[in-house]
Structure 1
Amino acid sequence: MHKQIPHVTVILGIESTAHTFGVGLVEDGRVLANHEDMHRPVEGGIRPSEAATHHREVGPELVKKAMIKRPDAVAYSASPGIGSCLKVGTELAQKLAEELGVPLVPVNHAISHLEIGIHTTGAKEDDVVAVYVSGGNTQIIARSGVKGWQVFGETLDIALGNALDKLARQLGLPHPGGPKLEKLAERAGTSGDLLDMPYVVKGMDLSYSGMFTHATRMLARGESPERVARAFQEHAFAMLVEVTERAVAHTGKGQVLLVGGVVQNRRLRDMFDIMCRERGVKCLAVPPEFAGDNGVMIAHSGWLRFRKGWMLKPEQAGYFQKMRVNEEPYNLLAGQE
């Protein structure tokens, strides 16, 4: 679908891939509104049906709060994510586009994290190794010529954010557990011996499931929660830094960009800062307000694609639970009439 592009472009973005429903509004790269609401399970992890119900309940009001200007298009996270959550966001975006008489712009959630990081830090897209760490993803990504974004390394099982949250639940910490686990690890201090943990790096990939199992066994034996939390972070983060350092050496890139919710962890950023200084490369991190899932990043990516004419009619809306970082949902949906 193609139309004449307005000189000034306002895009509404809807994010609904997991526990957070977010709505953002941007005008030619400038943030006008950013509202979000997170589903917080009473116990355990995310239950897809409960998260979808939450999104359905809070979504319309968040859209109303964010839409302080009439958008020229509605962007939405079309993939990857939890199916029931994606469905809620897609249907709301479709309904809104129909009511406003504007096109839809489908966005790859993972690419959106990269693009908001580049936009807010001034990173050079062709000179950056991106470290994408969240509850559902742990990937080392860089652009590779005409192939675009390529994954150079990733977790072989659970994502780093998921591993941190799972360990936090073992300790009785409420969701989201990562930030609370970080505070627990800080209480252990930096003196004293570091507990041994499995360190699983296989080439450019890594694994966290064995480390999590080992940590739960240590807790069952009566080991201090603070010491276990500290050891878990130190080993898990060191593995990620090691794989990233290899990617920097292999690609010759001059910048490392940290994106995703887990990069709000201060210790993680400190370890990357040290590695980057030693290698003589620049370390950049997305601002905290755009690190976790949010509507602004979807709106920004939608704005970039809208300017290229990558638009759909509302009836072409769709979503995909799985999608790699080098895939565009627009390309898969544009042929549907």
Structure 2
Amino acid sequence: MSNLFLGIDTSNYTSSFCLVDEQGKKQMEIKKPLTVKEGRLGLRQQEAVFQHVRNMETVATQLNGISGVIRGVSSSVSPRKVEGSYMPVFVVSRMLGKLIAGLLHVTYTETSHQRGHIRAGMEDLDPIGDSFTAFHLSGGTTEALRVDVLAETGAFNEKMVFESSDISIGQLIDRIGVYLGKPFPSGPALEAMLPKERGREAFDKRHYKAFFREGQLNLSGLETYLKKQLDQKEDPQKVVFLLFENIIQLLEKMIDEITEQKEEDVLFTGGVSSNEYIRSRLSELYKNKKANLYFCKKENCTD
């Protein structure tokens, strides 16, 4: 029987389980999204913890049919791999990982939610170098990190380059989406609203309200501006267009600052990175610039 390794992640959005073989290839994946009531912007931590626990019965049933022997277990135990990074939801993955590893008498290791996103983004990206910049764009995070892969083990270290000082890009998208009456998370619903033909020629400097200067990133002003546009009965489709073009210009400014001195490999991961409009617009912008853009597979962007 083949040797398998189990990864567990219990985030604010999804109960996630993945089995890989000794080569790191996925053999089974289980994702159970958490349920958010209409009109709400996510779950309180105690609600999310309860849903994760409730999802365990379904997950246990599916894992019961695996073909192979689990030789190791790894759990996401914090949002980031830095001191003080903590969320109660990750207590579920820690407890479950320790329990399974203890019962099976196998190795147990701990990692962070963010490292899981970066590792998922690196899957099947052979051309990417041993040092690159990773943009983690998700419901709770907008960060650019310098990633250095250790040749001996394949593990990596990450160091913060830029981060949002208030809300994340994912939070901004969800807040505008819920304000428009869309379900949470709102990314797919807002992407479907984007006009097919409108390009940057319809977006001028007056519309740019995101803030990025000297490494500081701020999005709350953009949120206020977009909601004001909606309150003034602006066409919702145009407001959504302004939202995404602001995001693209913001990311462009950040990438340009990172690549100002030299050419750089840039990886995009996290749920927001699955947005086709963002992927295609950035790819178009960087056809002839100093950044080599890589995008996580869409199925691996989410938690």
What is the total number of aligned residue pairs between the two structures? 285
The question of whether the paired residues in 2 share the 8 Å contact of 1:77 and 1:109 is answered with yes
1:174 has 2:183 as partner:
yes
CA offset at residue 241 of structure 1? 1.8
Given that 1:123 and 1:255 are in contact with CA atoms closer than 8 Å, whether structure 2 keeps it comes out as no
Secondary structure (helix, strand or coil) at the match of 1:45 reads coil
- Does residue 238 of the first structure (1) align with residue 242 of the second (2)? no
| Alpha-carbon separation, structure 2, partners of 1:25 and 1:134 | 23
Secondary structure at 1:83 match in 2 = coil
Match of 1:211 in 2: 222
Segment drifting more, 11-20 vs 146-155: 146-155
Corresponding residue for 1:259? 269
Identify the residue that residue 73 of structure 1 maps to in structure 2: 72
Distance 2:175 2:228 in 1: 13
Cα RMSD of the aligned pairs, angstroms, is: 2.3
Q: With the length of structure 1 as denominator, give the TM-score of the two structures.
A: 0.78
Match of 1:45 among 18, 41, 46: 41
Q: Which moved more, 1:164-173 or 1:196-205?
A: 196-205
CA deviation string 1:11-52 (max 9, x = no partner): 101110211001000012111001101112113122222211
Residue correspondence of structure 1 range 167-316 to structure 2 within 5 A: 167-186=176-195, 189-190=198-199, 193-194=202-203, 196-250=207-261, 252-293=262-303
SS at match of 1:122: coil
Q: For residues 62-111 of structure 1, what are the alpha-carbon distances to aligned partners after superposition, in whole Å with 9 as ceiling and x for unaligned?
A: 14424613211111101117723112222222221222122211012112
Write the distance in 2 (CA, Å) between the matches of 1:265 and 1:154: 20
Matched, 1:100 2:97: no
Instruction: For 2:42, give the aligned amino acid.
Output: I
Paired residues of 1:23 and 1:66 also in contact (CA < 8 A): no
SS of residue paired to 1:257: strand
TM-score of the two chains, using structure 2 as the length reference: 0.86
Structure in which a larger fraction of residues adopt helix = 1
| Equivalent AA in structure 1 for residue 298 of structure 2 | P
Deviations 1:176-221 (A, max 9, x none): 1011111112368449843724131122232111100111111111
Q: Which amino acid aligns with 1:22?
A: S
Matched, 1:32 2:7: no
Question: Which residue of structure 1 lines up, in the alignment, with residue 153 of structure 2?
Answer: none
Query: Partners in 1 of 2:147 and 2:95 — Cα distance?
Result: 32
Whole-angstrom distance in 2 between the partners of 1:197 and 1:288: 28
What are the ranges of 5 or more consecutive residues in structure 1 without an aligned counterpart? 1-7, 294-337
Q: Greater relative contact order: 1 or 2 (C-alpha under 8 angstroms, separation 6 or more)?
A: 1
Query: Are residues 1:16 and 2:10 paired?
Result: yes
Instruction: Give the aligned residue type for 1:108.
Output: S
Is residue 6–residue 17 contact of structure 2 (8 Å, CA) maintained in 1? yes
Moved over 6 A (4+): 144-147
Distance across 2 between alignment mates of 1:87 and 1:254: 36
CA contact (8 A) 1:182 1:265 kept: yes
Would you say the 8 A contact 1:129–1:253 is kept in 2? no
Any conservation in 1 of the 2:263–2:292 contact (CA below 8 Å)?
no
1:145–1:10 distance in 2 versus 1, CA, 3 Å: closer
CA contact (8 A) 2:177 2:183 kept: yes
